[in-house]
Structure 1
């Protein structure tokens, strides 16, 4: 199982979530590549068995600036049924809670990806219930690859 987790993080919160998920997947024998979205080439995603995008939502429900190029490139990529899911931390205090998670989910679906787990939105710092949802997301990804 070759899985890419690509993330963007302003406060460090999503980086911690991405690392937590990477550790969990590796403990379950997955081969995980962990990198920042700014370093991820959308045209190489189909080289992975599964892709997990971890993003925060910026300002008024926008995709973060450092993720814009990656997001835009996804419109031109055929993911060839590459399995994917999306998660991210945001704030329920904002009217557009987790909207970037929704944008990435829609874009990956429209790029011919195969969504294997429901998107997960976390309100700020993850609590134990959130971490359980993150592990469940990881379980769905691994199950889809067997």
Structure 2
């Protein structure tokens, strides 16, 4: 399986989560390509069996412009998109927490719930990342 992990990170939390996703996928035998949204050149999304999009939530629940531009660069809605993101309940409370994740899951009509990480994926949240990925990979393997 070949997986793309496209992410946008300002504070480093989303990057750290993306790296955990890559490490787990690699350990499972997947070939992974990391793509820094807004920095790396455009990619051909059709070359991947699975696409992960990682984002943070901006301002009042907004998806960052760079992530929106990445969506436009892809040019179509792949059916194989899983979304993860980092957020902070301190700013905006529960109703805005990782809202960009929810918006992308809805936009792509992803078959997987989005993974939401409070700030950094370290500690007990590492288990959340692993558990979420196991669910995604189980579904992907059962479809093939």
TM-score by length of 2: 0.84
Matched with 1:33 is: 33
Which structure 1 segments of 5+ residues have no match? none
Shift of 1:63: 1.1
Cα deviation, 1:105-140, whole Å, max 9, x if unaligned, reads 11111xxxx52x321111112243321111122212
More displaced stretch, 131-140 vs 11-20 = 131-140
The aligned residue for residue 77 of structure 1 is: 76
The farther-off stretch of 1-10 and 61-70 is: 61-70
Instruction: Provide Cα deviations, 1:34-83, integer angstroms capped at 9, x if missing partner.
Output: 111223647x3232111111100111111113222123456x5142x3x2
CA contact (8 A) 2:85 2:101 kept: yes
How large is the RMSD of aligned CA atoms in angstroms? 1.9
Aligned to 1:133: 128
Asked whether 1:106 is paired with 2:106, we answer yes
3-state SS of paired residue (2:67)? helix
Aligned length, in residue pairs: 137
Q: Which residue is equivalent to 1:58?
A: 58
Give the aligned partner of residue 90 of structure 1. 87
Q: Secondary structure at the match of 1:11?
A: coil
The whole-number CA distance in structure 2 between the counterparts of 1:49 and 1:92 is 33
SS in 2 for 1:20: helix
Relative to the length of structure 1, the TM-score reads 0.83
Q: Which runs of 4+ in 1 moved over 4 A?
A: none
